[in-house]
Amino acid sequence: MIGYEDYAQPDFFRFGWDQLFLVKTVLENTTHKKVEVLVELGTGSGVLSCELSQKISIAHAHLVEYQQQEWEPYLTQNVAKQGRLPSVKYHWQKVSEFNLESEIQAQILLCNPPYFLVRSGRASLDPRRNIAHRFVIDDFQAWVDAMVRSLAVGGEAWWLHRDPGPQGKPTIPEGYEIKHVMRSGRMRVIRLTRLYVE
- CATH number of the domain that 177 lies in? 3.40.50.150
Of 39-48, 160-169, 172-181, the range with the lowest mean pLDDT is: 160-169
Whether 5 is covered by a domain: the verdict is: no
Residue 178's domain comprises 15-194
In-domain check, residue 185: yes
DSSP H or E stretch at residue 112: none
CA distance 90 to 104: 13
Tell whether 71 is covered by a domain. Answer: yes
In a domain, 3, yes or no: no
Separation of alpha carbons 57 and 54, rounded Å: 8
Residue-wise pLDDT for 107-154, tens only, equals: 999 998 886 666 666 666 666 665 665 666 888 899 999 999 999 999
- Examine residue 142 and state whether it is found in any structural domain, yes or no: yes
pTM attached to this predicted model: 0.90
| Structural domain contains residue 2 | no
Q: In the predicted model, is pLDDT for residue 190 greater than 90?
A: yes
Instruction: Kindly list the distances between the CA atom of residue 135 and the CA atoms of 41, 42, 47, 103, 169, in Å, as whole numbers in the listed order.
Output: 14, 12, 21, 26, 15
Question: pLDDT tens for residues 113-125?
Answer: 886 666 666 666 6
In a domain, 6, yes or no: no
- Residue 1 counted as domain residue: no
Residue 194, pLDDT score: 97
Roughly how many angstroms between the first and final C-alpha of the chain, as a whole number? 38
Q: How many domains does the chain have?
A: 1
Q: State the Cα–Cα distance between residues 18 and 25, nearest whole angstrom.
A: 10
